[in-house]
Amino acid sequence: MSLHRVKIILVEPAGPLNVGSVARVMKNMALQQLVLVNPQCDPLGAEARQMAVHGVDILETAQQVETLPEALTGCQRAIATTARVRTLPTPLEEPRALLPWLVEESVTSALIFGPEDRGLSNLELNYAQRFVCIPSSAEYPSLNLAQAVAVCCYELYTTSQQPTPVTSQITDHSAEAAPLEVLEGYYEHLEALLLNIGYLYPHTAAARMEKFRRLFNRATPTPEEVAMLRGILRQMEWAIKSQQC
């Protein structure tokens, strides 16, 4: 199983040494796609290059984007790394059990890491479908960014070397899942309509929409199914305008 369709996404990385170290371990583990979201350092500077060693080509071909949704363009599956206890009953899964979900032929996927000083925010976590947490000692559970990437890249590489990779518990993927940017467009459309009809209120919209995201992410709808759902929203908007005339 090839890893060439798996993106490693770093959100606002601040340390060039970390970025260089990530490039090196990606090279070690046969991962090719590094995406940097609004980097807070020079990913091509001397420090990053020094740590990358023979992984400099990973730095030089890394994609730089402004936002996490841009980084996820074209992806059908996304896992976020986190140690946060979320308000919703969304399980935190271990790397060995979960990461094989990203390694499947014809599926473009992403593994998202947060900034060194804060990790991923709740808003950033909303863009992922599942969540991984690396087990560590309660005495000092926080891992360095490059170390966390190394652990996950090792698990991805190990999975890719198996003749028949062991997949995690997933729903039926016989049909192609919609790209995440297609789902994101649906979430934005749904939120706007629900605010318009008074089902959502501005001060509670984010929390309620988080529940809708979890629901549809579990369902893994196809592009055709998302188009059908958006068609329902457009028909509802038409009906509302007709009644107002």
CA angle centred on 5, ends 154 and 46, rounded to 5°: 65
Q: Report the run of H or E that residue 37 belongs to, with start and end.
A: strand 33-37
Q: According to the model, what pLDDT value does residue 172 have?
A: 44
Q: How many residues does the chain have?
A: 245
CA atoms within 13 A on the CB side of 153: 25
Rg (CA), the chain: 19
Report domain 6-160's class.
alpha beta
CATH number of the structural domain 180-244: 1.10.8.590
Q: What is the pLDDT of residue 217?
A: 85
Q: How confident is the model at residue 34 (pLDDT cuts 50, 70, 90)?
A: very high
Q: Please answer whether residues 185 and 58 qualify as being in contact, where contact means their C-beta atoms are separated by less than 8 angstroms.
A: no
**Domain ranges within the chain, ordered by starting residue:** 6-160, 180-244
Q: What is the tens place of the pLDDT at every residue in 160-215?
A: 998 764 554 444 444 488 999 999 999 999 999 999 999 999 999 999 999 999 89
> Mind listing the pLDDT tens digit for each residue in 130-156?
999 999 998 888 899 999 999 999 999
3-state secondary structure of 225: helix
> For residue 88, what pLDDT is reported?
59
Residue range 75-134, pLDDT digits in tens: 999 999 998 766 656 789 999 999 999 998 788 999 999 999 999 998 999 999 999 999
Q: Which residue has tokens 């992806």?
A: 75
